[in-house]
């Protein structure tokens, strides 16, 4: 029996897209459907293929299909858009049911968080269970490759990079293995953007899908170059800071919190006093981070919230707290306010006034900074950064 078909729109089960202008030519003999050729459009790109399908008592018993596609523009998942070429082979017999092949991404924009599950569906909610599916029992072994034009933009930052990954495991809940290399971009940490020096996100464990991050970035605050190093599982990252000129760790945290309002102070304390200050700095760092994460979005939400230990020059025997809050008025314009909180005895010896600051990042090299310092003096500065 010779079969042919022309279908304007052909839905694909379990997938958010349909093929258009579908045509096929096939023959059927002795329970074997031989597909000489088929083709159509998917996501604006050309799709063609051929193969054989064996029919058994319970439906499809065997399958060997080969598919090639080019220049498809798809959104296989929410907040993901790609232009992709691919070669896919579907194999099914008594021992296996697998889809294998390679997808080469010419362009890919990824807006999902790294902790979100990986899946081939753009549906907001899963469809109701309607019984057995064609994809039940299917496993994946698909290489995913992008040499350039790969953009990540999520809560971690905005990056350009490349990747060499493998989608493996069950079709309903696949996992990723491989590496994503970050070539350039900005990493968001504690309300500041760190320029990527080098970075790699590795998926190495098929059981625990949490990726491992190895990252090094830099930012310039006031007259300091601050370097951020992070290495470890994403949920348990421990940032390590260094600066040039060098600053103690607690002062680097204050520098990042206060920005252009930072003022370095010098003290000579015993080891116990210094240890207490370092501990307080880490505790307030964590408290402020939790408070910032819980602040709801909206016009009156805070883009920067920090609590840092503070030892007044005029009252060296006591420890106060400096509270810093900030709000981004636009993408490159930040308003920052900082004040000191302490008991009445310590506050009586403090002659500093609240600080306010406006920071406008015109470009990576130029910024305009204006405001009032802790002595009440007004200033307006133009900052130029150049790396030697």
CA contacts within 13 A on the Cβ side of 174? 23
The span from the CA of 272 to the CA of 215, in Å, is: 33
Residue 46 falls inside a structural domain:
no
Residue 12 falls inside a structural domain:
no
The average pLDDT across 173-190 equals 87
Residue 378 falls inside a structural domain:
yes
Distances (CA, A) of 305 to 97, 285, 293: 53, 10, 10
The answer to whether 36 and 27 are in contact (CB under 8 A) is yes
Residue with tokens 């992008």: 146
User: What pLDDT is stored for residue 122 in this prediction?
Assistant: 45
Q: Predicted confidence band at 174 (pLDDT cuts at 50, 70, 90)?
A: confident
User: Does 302 score more than 70 pLDDT?
Assistant: no
Residue 303 falls inside a structural domain:
yes
Residue 341 falls inside a structural domain:
yes
Query: Tokens standing for 120?
Result: 């081939």
3-state secondary structure of 294: helix
- Concatenating the DSSP letter of every residue in 229-258 gives EEEEEGGG---EEEEES---HHHHHHHHHH
User: What pLDDT is stored for residue 384 in this prediction?
Assistant: 79
User: What pLDDT is stored for residue 113 in this prediction?
Assistant: 80
User: What pLDDT is stored for residue 283 in this prediction?
Assistant: 42
User: What pLDDT is stored for residue 388 in this prediction?
Assistant: 54
The span from the CA of 37 to the CA of 51, in Å, is: 8
The average pLDDT across 174-181 equals 92
52 or 369: which carries more pLDDT confidence? Answer: 52
User: Does 140 score more than 90 pLDDT?
Assistant: yes
The span from the CA of 346 to the CA of 341, in Å, is: 9
Query: Which of 143-152, 168-177, 193-202, 279-288 is predicted least confidently?
Result: 279-288
Q: Which residues are CB-neighbours of 80 under 8 A, at least 6 positions away?
A: 108, 109, 110, 111, 112
Number of DSSP helices (H) and strands (E) in the chain, helices first: 3, 20
The average pLDDT across 351-361 equals 83
Q: Are strands 139-154 and 45-56 parallel, antiparallel or unpaired?
A: unpaired
Q: How many CB atoms lie within 10 A of CB 36?
A: 13
User: What pLDDT is stored for residue 228 in this prediction?
Assistant: 92
44 or 303: which carries more pLDDT confidence? Answer: 44
- pLDDT above 90 as % of the chain: 35
The answer to whether 241 and 228 are in contact (CB under 8 A) is yes
Residue 274 falls inside a structural domain:
no
pLDDT digits (tens, 9 = 90+) for 63-122: 999 999 999 999 888 889 999 999 999 999 988 999 999 999 999 999 988 667 655 544
User: What pLDDT is stored for residue 255 in this prediction?
Assistant: 81
User: What pLDDT is stored for residue 285 in this prediction?
Assistant: 45
Q: Is 202 exposed, middle or buried (0-12, 13-18, 19+ CB in 10 A)?
A: middle
User: Does 159 score more than 70 pLDDT?
Assistant: yes
The span from the CA of 320 to the CA of 206, in Å, is: 48
User: Does 45 score more than 70 pLDDT?
Assistant: yes
User: What pLDDT is stored for residue 273 in this prediction?
Assistant: 43
Residue 156 falls inside a structural domain:
no
Q: Whole domain around residue 340: which residue ranges? A: 279-384
* Count: domains in the chain: 1
pLDDT digits (tens, 9 = 90+) for 263-274: 665 544 444 444
157 or 130: which carries more pLDDT confidence? Answer: 157
User: What pLDDT is stored for residue 303 in this prediction?
Assistant: 65
pLDDT digits (tens, 9 = 90+) for 320-343: 777 778 887 877 888 888 887 766
- Per residue, the 3-state secondary structure of 40-82, as one string, reads EEECCEEEEEEEEEEEECCEEEEEEEEEEEEEEEECCCCCEEE
The average pLDDT across 136-140 equals 88
- Concatenating the DSSP letter of every residue in 343-382 gives -HHHHHT-----EEEEEEE-SSSEEEEEEE-TTS-EEEEE
User: Does 152 score more than 60 pLDDT?
Assistant: yes
């Amino acid at each position: 029996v010779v079969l042919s078909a022309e279908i304007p729109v052909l839905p694909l089960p379990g997938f958010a897209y349909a093929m258009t202008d579908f045509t096929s030519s096939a023959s059927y003999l002795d329970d074997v459907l031989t597909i000489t050729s088929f083709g159509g459009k998917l996501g604006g790109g050309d799709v063609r293929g051929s193969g054989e399908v064996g029919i058994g008592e319970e439906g499809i018993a065997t399958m060997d299909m080969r598919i090639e596609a080019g220049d498809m523009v798809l959104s296989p998942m929410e907040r993901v858009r790609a232009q992709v070429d691919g070669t896919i082979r579907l194999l099914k017999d008594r021992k296996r049911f697998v889809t294998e092949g390679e997808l080469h991404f010419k362009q890919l924009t990824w807006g999902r968080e790294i902790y979100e599950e990986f899946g081939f569906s753009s549906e907001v909610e899963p469809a109701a269970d309607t019984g057995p599916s064609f994809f039940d029992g299917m496993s994946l072994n698909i290489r995913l490759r992008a040499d350039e034009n790969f953009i990540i933009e999520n809560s971690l930052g905005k990056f350009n990079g490349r990747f060499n990954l493998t989608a493996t495991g069950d079709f309903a809940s696949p996992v990723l293995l491989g590496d994503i290399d970050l070539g350039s971009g900005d990493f968001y940490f504690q309300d500041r953007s760190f320029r990527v020096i080098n970075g790699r996100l590795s998926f190495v464990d098929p059981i625990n899908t949490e990726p491992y991050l190895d990252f090094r970035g830099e930012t310039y605050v006031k007259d300091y170059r601050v370097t951020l190093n992070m290495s470890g599982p994403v949920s348990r990252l421990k940032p390590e800071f260094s600066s040039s000129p060098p600053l103690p760790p607690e002062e680097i945290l204050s520098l990042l919190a206060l920005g252009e309002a930072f003022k370095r102070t010098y003290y000579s304390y015993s080891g116990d006093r210094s240890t207490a200050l370092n501990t307080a700095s880490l505790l307030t760092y964590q408290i402020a981070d939790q408070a910032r994460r819980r602040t709801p979005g909206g016009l009156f939400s805070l883009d920067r919230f920090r609590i840092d230990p503070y030892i007044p020059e005029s009252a060296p025997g006591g420890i106060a707290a400096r509270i810093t809050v900030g709000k981004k008025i636009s993408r490159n314009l930040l308003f920052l306010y900082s004040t000191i909180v302490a008991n009445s005895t310590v506050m009586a010896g403090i002659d500093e006034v609240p600080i306010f600051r406006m920071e406008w990042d015109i470009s990576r090299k130029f910024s305009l900074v204006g405001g009032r310092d802790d002595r009440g003096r007004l200033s307006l500065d133009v900052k130029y950064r150049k790396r030697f």
